[in-house]
Structure 1
Amino acid sequence: MVGVFRRSLSFPNKPNTGRPFPPPSKPRISHHTRSISLPCRSHPLISHINHEISQLKSWSSFSAGFSCTSAWISDGLSLLKDVHETLSDILHLPQSQESLRKRPIFFENLLEDLLRFVDAYGIFQTSILSLREHNSAAQVALRKRDDAKISYYLKSRQNIARDIARLTSSIREPKTKQEYCCHVGGVGSYADAELASAIGDVIEVTVSVSVALFDGVYFPLRQARTTPFVGFLKRSEKKERKDEGIEEMKKVDEKSLVGLRKKKDEEVKNLMKRMAELENSMCEIECGSEKVFRSLINTRVSLLNALTH
């Protein structure tokens, strides 16, 4: 991050009075007068991360009125990974490390928020891997029309939904964003405020992408007649969001998997096709979330290095 520079302006030592031009034999003598400090151009990494954050916000706003698909979720995860990789590079800058060390509360809150993100994505990775394993077993049961194993699969989905529902609650209120509001209003250089603003925005978009991911997987998995799993949503939100979720996962719901022995061959064939699409979408989501998980760890390691150097 580039520091703040002061501009220099040259003024003539003696003003011209009564003459249109100064005598050629006496060259003008000038001296430098420093002007008031003005913010300098942002460091390229700050400008770059602000652009990436803007892209993520556009990605988030694009969801209004459109279906949530695994491809859309994967795009958001890819953009989030890029944001955290850039933040990790910013945290390696000596100016950034010095700025953060001067504000221990902001520093500690950021460490805590990053740890919560890492924990949430670690649990999600375990959950999505378990879901993939159960889904593979369910495809075998579907070919055999084994209602008992399908029933076990549905119960497993509900348990996974319960675990994922808790993740949304754990990351909704980051401390860094709250501290950022106080930090910007305090005394500090333009560069310090710019860094704090960028970090605050990174935390904000991390929450928005993570909530979209967790809710996108959770809503199709929850049992339709059960509301406690929605737990952390208000009553009005439950009604508005009852149909939300990743499209590929919504195609394989509890109702479609019940009573396999009574279904026609064509129905079972179509259901197997949807299960295969679900498998592919989960692989895509697992890959994207794992990359975010690793980038979050790297960001936190960079922050810890800033403390030790």
Structure 2
Amino acid sequence: MAAYPLNTRSPYHARSISLPSRSHPLTLRVEEQLHRLRASEATASSSSICRTLDGLKELYDSVGDLLQLPLTQQALAPQRHEKWIDEVLDGSVMLLDVCGITRDVLLQMKESVHGLQSSLRRKKYAEFGLEHDVSAYMACRRKVKKTIRKCLGDWKRTQNKRAFSSVLDKDGGLVAMASVLREVEAITFTVFESLLSFVYGPKAQSKQSGWSLVSKLMHTKRVACDGEVVDICEMDRVDVTLCSLIHHKSQKGTSVLNIQNVQKQLEVLELSIHGLEDGVESIFRAGGGLMQLGKMAASLAIPKSPCHARSISLPSRSHPLTLSIEEQLHRLRASEATSSLSVPSSICRKLSALDDLYEHVDDMLHLPLIQRVLSHYPHEKWVDEVLDGSLRLLEVCGTSRDFLLQMKECVQDLESSLSRKRVGEFGLANEVQAYIISRKKASKGIRKCFENLKRMESKCAFSNSLLDKDDYGLVAMVSVLREVEAITLSVLKSILSFESSPKTRSKPSGWYLVSKFIQTKRVACEGEGEDVGEMEKLDVALCALLNRQKSCKDIGVVQNAQKRLEALELSIQSLEEGVECMFRRLIRTRVSLLNILNQ
């Protein structure tokens, strides 16, 4: 796959006049880090990619420090080159999208690897269904590869269409700074491309069938047995060993060894994916990382002037957009007060209403009056608060999306197990237990997320006193943006609450739900319990399944559990679509704000 160009050449001589000189420690550090990243060879090794991600994070931290230097601020603040600033902002949004897609791909692979590991641990080699589990893993790999091909193709087309502005001031320092930001963007794309290429696997696999890998294994047995051949990456090794496992299915003498080898390769791959996830997450959340790059570039384009900016009237309360936003906020506040937070259909309606609200907010932000007001006010404090709020919403939305994907994978695994096994078959209890453990793990992660949000909110104090109290229009605009942030955060919290265990089940054990099932049979059998959420209905049905497993083989209990799983999967699918739409909307709104602030 073609690498993106790293060296952006400028027609001007890069003279450091007013910007930090080349001998400045930060300048030297950035140049050294860029040189190391350019010199690093792209290899099919997860450890090499992890080291590159660590270097990339350090680079972003250094660039952030460089942009915050007083010399840099003074040199760039008078410059109003909206075109190249817009290019930097567009690039930061593209990088954010790349990072999000990469996180999703890694999460899908990790869940698929974990599912196959669980199946291999529970089943004997000769047991029916092992080939089905391997096929499910391969299907996930094909799906991931399709996503990566589409993603890389879209990026390549976008890069071909982009033409960096050369209409820069002949100040060599400014040209050099713009060149650095562009090179950072280019090298980031290259790093993420190498990561996705690692997940995709060698190009040669695109034309090989699964059985050609078996032939490859026959010629390089040490790859599957000892892992001594280094020209095959972890992904390829797992594919080769899985094909070997299917190929030797009839050879009982080698079955145990093959299973152990597959388990070993899966463990290595899981550790590799975990390391890559940590690296991508550190880039995504780094204080000076890619999500802050657009904010920093925008702040440099806002002139810092001690003079008082004149008040420019915002749209009146009778303006159609103002009335529409107030009406939508009122409806959302009312729905928060009256509807159940744990009902997916209610959450989906709120997400749809939020999408409409953000559409109107974007329309209002593009009004000439609004743009003139926001671009003329140098109130860095409240600007930072609004931008930090949009960043916080993106993080919470991304976390919700990750937990929904994990939950869907877990539900699908349990559905698959129930469809293959009879009620009295050995191992069904293990399948249910695996689902419960996954739920507990997700709930623990969500509780931690809530704790982090609570800490952030306690530290966040809006600076009303720093706003011009005479400009009521500006105060009203900032108030609207903060209220939109608050209502969005509330809806996202309701999604996290749905994903976690209900509060009523925080102390009672699973067998308490069996007694509850006995007392309210219609909840599990007919779904008439209004006060029981979908998660709790499923838990009741699963406990009933385990309770009756030894006493009788009640097909109705299995069918009820399958029915609950199908209903929950549909709910999760609807929430996923709503959250994905919300994530894209939040990115667009953030970009609109950044573009307005640097005009």
TM superposition score normalised by structure 1? 0.72
Aligned partners of 1:74 and 1:285 also within 8 Å = yes
Matched residue count: 256
Q: Deviations over 1:13-45 (max 9, x none)?
A: xxxxxxxxxxxxxxxxxxxxxxxxxx9555432
Structure 1 partner of 2:330: 54
Structure 2 partner of 1:195: 477
Aligned partners of 1:128 and 1:286 also within 8 Å = yes
Q: Deviations over 1:124-160 (max 9, x none)?
A: 1121112111101101222314222222222112222
Aligned partners of 1:142 and 1:268 also within 8 Å = yes
Question: For residues 84 and 127 of structure 1, what CA distance do their matches in structure 2 show?
Answer: 24
Quote how far apart the aligned CAs of 1:290 are: 1.4
Question: For residues 74 and 138 of structure 1, what CA distance do their matches in structure 2 show?
Answer: 24
Change (3 A) 1:175 1:96: farther
Question: For residues 449 and 341 of structure 2, what CA distance do their matches in structure 1 show?
Answer: 22
Structure 1 segment 77-88 matched on structure 2, within 5 A: 77-88=351-362
Question: For residues 183 and 4 of structure 1, what CA distance do their matches in structure 2 show?
Answer: 18
Change (3 A) 1:284 1:80: same
2:339 equivalent to 1:70: no
Question: For residues 180 and 49 of structure 1, what CA distance do their matches in structure 2 show?
Answer: 23
Change (3 A) 1:293 1:256: farther
Q: Deviations over 1:59-93 (max 9, x none)?
A: 11112xx5842111111111112222222222223
Structure 1 partner of 2:596: 306
Instruction: Describe the SS at the equivalent of 2:565.
Output: helix
Quote how far apart the aligned CAs of 1:286 are: 1.2
Q: Which amino acid aligns with 2:345?
A: A
Structure 2 partner of 1:255: 543
Question: For residues 565 and 504 of structure 2, what CA distance do their matches in structure 1 show?
Answer: 17
Aligned partners of 1:141 and 1:147 also within 8 Å = no
2:414 equivalent to 1:138: yes
Question: For residues 123 and 246 of structure 1, what CA distance do their matches in structure 2 show?
Answer: 25
Change (3 A) 1:183 1:195: farther
Instruction: For structure 2, list consecutive stretches of 5 or more residues without a partner in the other structure.
Output: 1-310, 510-530
Change (3 A) 1:104 1:188: farther
Structure 1 segment 269-284 matched on structure 2, within 5 A: 269-284=559-574
2:357 equivalent to 1:90: no
| Structure with more contact order per residue of length (Cα contacts < 8 Å, sep ≥ 6) | 1
Aligned partners of 2:351 and 2:579 also within 8 Å = yes
Q: Kindly indicate which of the two structures has a greater share of residues assigned to helix.
A: 2
Aligned partners of 1:132 and 1:282 also within 8 Å = yes
Structure 2 partner of 1:205: 487
Pairwise CA RMSD: 3.2
Q: Aligned match of 2:392 in 100, 109, 116?
A: 116
Q: Deviations over 1:92-119 (max 9, x none)?
A: 2343344334121111111111111111
Instruction: Describe the SS at the equivalent of 1:48.
Output: helix
Quote how far apart the aligned CAs of 1:54 are: 0.7
Question: For residues 396 and 313 of structure 2, what CA distance do their matches in structure 1 show?
Answer: 38
Question: For residues 296 and 138 of structure 1, what CA distance do their matches in structure 2 show?
Answer: 33
Q: Which amino acid aligns with 1:252?
A: L
Structure 2 partner of 1:27: none
Instruction: For structure 1, list consecutive stretches of 5 or more residues without a partner in the other structure.
Output: 6-38, 228-244
Identity of aligned residues (%): 27
Structure 1 segment 156-235 matched on structure 2, within 5 A: 156-172=438-454, 174=457, 178-179=461-462, 181-182=464-465, 186-220=468-502, 224-225=506-507
Change (3 A) 1:169 1:257: farther
Quote how far apart the aligned CAs of 1:170 are: 3.9
Change (3 A) 1:80 1:67: closer
Question: For residues 221 and 138 of structure 1, what CA distance do their matches in structure 2 show?
Answer: 24
Quote how far apart the aligned CAs of 1:278 are: 0.9
TM superposition score normalised by structure 2? 0.39
Change (3 A) 1:283 1:123: same
Aligned partners of 1:183 and 1:196 also within 8 Å = no
Change (3 A) 1:158 1:175: closer
Aligned partners of 1:81 and 1:292 also within 8 Å = yes
Change (3 A) 1:62 1:221: closer
Question: For residues 532 and 466 of structure 2, what CA distance do their matches in structure 1 show?
Answer: 38
Question: For residues 534 and 462 of structure 2, what CA distance do their matches in structure 1 show?
Answer: 39
Aligned partners of 2:321 and 2:364 also within 8 Å = yes
Instruction: Describe the SS at the equivalent of 1:179.
Output: coil
Bigger Cα displacement from structure 2, 194-203 vs 140-149: 140-149
Question: For residues 265 and 226 of structure 1, what CA distance do their matches in structure 2 show?
Answer: 27
Change (3 A) 1:116 1:226: farther
Quote how far apart the aligned CAs of 1:279 are: 1.0
Aligned partners of 1:157 and 1:221 also within 8 Å = no
Q: Which amino acid aligns with 2:439?
A: R
Structure 2 partner of 1:267: 557
Question: For residues 323 and 458 of structure 2, what CA distance do their matches in structure 1 show?
Answer: 24
Question: For residues 131 and 221 of structure 1, what CA distance do their matches in structure 2 show?
Answer: 18
Quote how far apart the aligned CAs of 1:257 are: 5.6
Bigger Cα displacement from structure 2, 142-151 vs 297-306: 142-151
